[in-house]
A and B are shown apart, each in its own frame.
Chain A
Amino acid sequence: MIESILFIVLALLALASAVVAVISKNLVTSIISAGLVSLLASLLYLLMSAPDVAMTEAAIGSSLATIIFFYVLNRIRAKEDSRD
Chain B
Amino acid sequence: MIRTFGIILTLIGVAFLFFSLFLEYETPLELSGSASYYAASTAEDTGSANLVSAIVVTYRGLDTLGEVTILFLTSSIMSYMLKTKKARNQRTFRESSELLRTASALLVPFIILLGVFIFVHGHLSPGGGFQGGAVLASALVLLLVADPLYTVQSRILSVIESSSGFLYVLLGLSGLLFGAGFLDSRVLPTGRVGELFSAGLIPLIYILIGLKVGTELSNLLSVFHSVQGQDLMEDEGGAR
Contact = CB atoms under 8 A, between A and B. Distances in A.
Interface of A: 51-52, 54-56, 59-60, 63-64, 67-68, 71-72, 74-75, 78
B75 interface: no
A67 B223 CA distance: 13
Given A64-B217, A71-B224, A52 B126 contact: yes
B228 interface: yes
Interface stretch (B28-36, B62-70, B102-110, B132-140): B132-140
Contacts of A52: 50, 52-53, 126-128, 131
Nearest to B226: A71
Nearest to B227: A75
Contacts of A74: 228
A1 to B, nearest CB: 18
Given A52-B128, A55-B126, A72 B224 contact: yes
B52 A59 contact: no
Contacts of A55: 118, 126-127, 131
A79 to B, nearest CB: 9
20 contacts: A52-B50, A52-B52, A52-B128, A52-B131, A55-B126, A55-B131, A56-B130, A59-B134, A59-B135, A59-B138, A63-B141, A67-B141, A68-B224, A71-B221, A71-B224, A72-B224, A74-B228, A75-B229, A78-B228, A78-B229
A75 B148 CA distance: 14
B225 interface: yes
Given A51-B126, A74-B228, A64 B131 contact: no
B224 A64 contact: no
B220 interface: yes
Given A56-B134, A75-B227, 10 more contacts: A52-B50, A52-B52, A54-B126, A56-B130, A59-B131, A60-B134, A63-B134, A64-B137, A71-B227, A71-B228
